[in-house]
């Protein structure tokens, strides 16, 4: 069974930084693209970033380019999102998801409040 567990969310001041982590289990993590998707509570879904299996390719939504960095550690079955220069509009629940385009498994999310 696919299990994705996010951590690292919390309250941060505008301009601050946070690093989100996602621990994966139940599947061969190194074989999958991975993504981050966010959702303002009560609102819709918004794709944030994705990363190729070996980390050699990444993509970002325009509003986070240059501020957020997605990375992974296949030895630790872990996905990360380094968020710098945070803004109020980054406030959301951040989900880790398996897949780069079709998202076949999701974590429960971690709340980031700026």
Partner 1 sequence: EIVLTQSPGTLSLSPGERATLSCRASQSVSSNYLAWYQQKPGQAPRLLIYGASSRATGIPDSFSGSGSGTDFTLTISRLEPEDFAVYYCQQYGSSPLTFGGGTKVEIK
Chain contacts with partner 1 (rule: CB under 8 A): 44-47, 50, 59, 61-62, 95, 101-109
Q: How far is the CB of 59 from partner 1 (least distance, A)?
A: 6
Which of 3/13 has CB closer to partner 1?
3
Closest CA to 10 of 113, 79, 87, 95: 113
Which of 13/37 has CB closer to partner 1?
37
Contact 68, 83 (CB under 8 A): yes
Bridge partners for 3 per DSSP: 25
User: 47: buried, middle or exposed (CB in 10 Å: 19+, 13-18, 0-12)?
Assistant: middle
Which phi and psi angles does 63 have, rounded to 5°? -70, -10
Which of 31/44 has CB closer to partner 1?
44
Give the separation between CA 87 and CA 93, rounded to whole angstroms.
14
Q: How far is the CB of 53 from partner 1 (least distance, A)?
A: 17
Q: How far is the CB of 13 from partner 1 (least distance, A)?
A: 27
Which of 13/31 has CB closer to partner 1?
31
Q: How far is the CB of 34 from partner 1 (least distance, A)?
A: 13
């Amino acid at each position: 069974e696919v299990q994705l567990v996010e951590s690292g969310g919390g309250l941060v001041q505008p301009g601050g930084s946070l690093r989100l982590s996602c621990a994966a289990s139940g599947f061969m993590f190194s074989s999958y693209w991975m993504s981050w998707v966010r959702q303002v509570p009560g609102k819709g879904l918004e794709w944030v970033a994705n990363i190729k299996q070996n980390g050699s390719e990444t993509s970002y939504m325009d509003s986070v380019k240059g501020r957020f960095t997605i990375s992974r550690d296949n030895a630790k079955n872990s996905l990360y999102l380094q968020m710098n220069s945070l803004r109020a509009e980054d406030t959301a629940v951040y989900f880790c998801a398996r897949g780069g385009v079709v998202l076949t498994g999701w974590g429960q999310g971690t709340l980031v409040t700026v």
